[in-house]
Every structure is written in structure tokens, then in C-alpha cells.
């Protein structure tokens, strides 16, 4: 069994002192693909924001299995992103933004970081979009550029918030196949928020399911059987 990279111990999350979810105790393995499922309003985005450090936990702990106490580096792929068309940003310039955390303010991005950005674009299958205007790319093409941007942060954890929403089925499968590939090649831990049970069954190893104020965790092949899903929904109704 892989070692735990992130452990949530009796965690409570929410806003302004009001809990959205309480008593979350789950672990996320290193170099694993975990899907986060749940209806709108179930707490998926709140959980992501808490893991990213944008929201403080209301109670409990988040422990990380990093060596030397170094903080985890997160790469984040939002559900969608809009840039004002007045800014003529190319795919390369959007991907390059992921390196800014390593570049001192007021300094030009060095050639090594620019070369690494091209490597990430190529890894995401987006090198051909590098010199095209980001605003003119299709949904699937934009998502590949955004994945490249997240990879340029050199992340330990890649977090994707419904990255295939509004993307056609062919592009959806291409993006998910790529994500599965980089887990193996780069040993990145992936957290994917989605509503698509079919995609989860095909790609995810683990599932964290937020349902009716409760948190369920298990292997995708076990948690998403018809019998187990019926049991979970019955628990929610009860």
C-alpha cells in the first residue's frame, strides 16, 4: 500500500465559523488518483480551498507526509478561466504563469524556466497551441494549456476542479488519459472534482464522496458498485 501523502484528521471546514462538513478523517496516498464526488453544495469546493490553504480549517488537522517538513506544492486547474480578449495572451504565456512563484518580482523569466514551460506544454499535448491566442482555443485545448500551467509549478499535488465541464467527450477522455499517464511518469498525486461517475470508474483509484453531510472513502471499484451506491443514497435519505 502506498504511503499517505495527505491525512485529514477529524477535520471541520466551512466559512465564517460555520461548518459545511465536520469529522472528515481520510487519507490520500502518494502518486494516487483520487476523485472527489458530491452534489452541488456538498462541500467539494470548500474542501479544495481548505487543502490549498485558502481557507483555514475550523477544527482538526491536515498532516502531510513530506520529507524535511517542506510544504507541499499544489498545481491547480480551475473549472474554467477567462482572460479579457484585450490581453493577447498566447497559450505559452498562460502556461508560463505557473513559473512565477519561483521568479523574483521584477525579474524576467529565465531561459531555463521558459524551456521547462515548453516541456510541460509538450507533456500536456498542448505545444501546438503555444503561439495561438488562448482566448481562441477550444475548451479541450484550453484545459490542456491549464494543465501545462499547473505542471510548471512543479507540483506534488495536482488539483483539478471539474476540468472537463463543457468539454466534448473526445477531449474529455484525452485529458483524463493524460492525467492518468502523468501520475505514473511523474509520481504526482491527483485530486479530481467531478460529477461524472463513468469517468471515475474508468480512471480513479480512490473516491472521496461527500453526500448529505457525510464523507465516504474507498476504492472506486468498491464504492461505486450499484449495491454500495444504493446503500449510500439510502443513508442520505435516512
DSSP assignment of 167-219? --HHHHHHHHHHHHHHHHHH--EEEEE-S-HHHHHHH-SEEEEEETTEEEEEE
Cell digits for 206?
Answer: 480512490
CA distance 52 to 72: 9
Contact predicate 207/223, CB 8 Å = yes
Express as a percent the part of the chain with pLDDT over 70.
92
With CA atoms as reference, report the closest residue to 124 among 78, 99, 92: 92
pLDDT for 238: 46
For residue 65, pLDDT over 80 is answered with no
Cell digits for 50?
Answer: 481548505
pLDDT for 234: 78
pLDDT for 138: 86
Task: Quote the crossing angle between the two packed helices 169-186 and 139-151, to the nearest 10°.
Answer: 10
pLDDT digits (tens, 9 = 90+) for 180-234: 888 888 889 999 998 888 888 888 999 999 988 889 999 999 999 989 888 888 7
Q: How confident is the model at residue 150 (pLDDT cuts 50, 70, 90)?
A: very high
pLDDT digits (tens, 9 = 90+) for 114-149: 999 999 999 888 999 999 999 898 888 888 899 899
pLDDT digits (tens, 9 = 90+) for 2-18: 788 999 999 999 999 99
- Does the predicted TM-score (pTM) go above 0.75? yes
pLDDT for 87: 65
| Burial annotation 17-54 (CB, 10 A radius, 16+ → b, else e) | eebbbbebebbbbbbbbbbbbbeeebbbbbbbebbeee
For residue 86, pLDDT over 50 is answered with yes
Edge-to-edge strands, sheet with 33-38 = 74-77, 157-161, 189-193, 33-38, 206-211, 214-219
Domains, the chain, in order of start with CATH, read 4-72+157-237 (3.40.50.300), 91-155 (no CATH)
Find how far residue 205's CA is from the centre of its chain.
14
pLDDT for 60: 96
CA distance 13 to 122: 37
For residue 237, pLDDT over 70 is answered with no
Contact predicate 35/41, CB 8 Å = no
Amino acid at each position: 500500500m502506498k504511503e499517505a501523502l495527505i491525512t485529514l484528521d477529524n477535520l471541520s471546514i466551512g466559512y465564517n465559523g460555520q461548518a459545511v462538513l465536520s469529522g472528515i478523517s481520510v487519507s490520500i496516498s502518494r502518486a494516487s488518483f483520487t476523485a472527489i464526488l458530491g452534489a452541488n453544495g456538498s462541500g467539494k469546493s470548500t474542501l479544495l480551498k481548505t487543502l490549498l490553504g485558502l481557507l483555514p480549517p475550523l477544527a482538526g488537522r491536515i498532516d502531510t507526509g513530506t520529507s524535511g517538513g517542506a510544504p507541499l506544492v499544489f498545481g491547480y486547474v480551475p473549472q474554467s478561466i477567462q482572460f479579457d480578449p484585450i490581453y493577447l495572451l498566447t497559450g505559452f504565456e498562460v502556461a508560463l504563469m505557473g513559473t512565477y512563484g519561483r521568479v523574483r518580482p521584477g525579474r524576467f523569466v529565465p531561459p531555463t524556466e521558459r524551456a521547462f514551460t515548453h516541456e510541460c506544454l509538450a507533456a500536456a499535448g498542448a505545444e501546438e497551441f503555444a503561439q495561438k491566442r488562448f482566448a481562441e482555443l477550444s475548451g479541450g485545448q484550453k484545459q490542456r494549456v491549464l494543465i501545462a500551467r499547473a505542471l510548471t509549478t512543479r507540483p506534488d499535488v495536482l488539483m483539478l476542479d471539474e476540468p472537463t465541464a463543457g468539454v466534448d467527450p473526445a477531449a474529455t477522455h484525452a485529458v483524463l488519459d493524460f492525467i492518468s499517464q502523468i501520475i505514473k511518469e511523474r509520481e504526482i498525486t491527483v485530486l479530481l472534482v467531478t460529477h461524472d461517475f463513468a469517468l471515475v470508474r474508468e480512471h480513479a483509484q480512490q473516491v472521496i464522496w461527500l453526500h448529505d453531510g457525510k464523507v465516504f472513502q474507498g476504492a472506486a471499484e468498491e464504492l461505486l458498485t450499484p449495491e454500495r451506491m444504493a446503500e449510500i443514497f439510502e443513508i442520505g435519505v435516512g
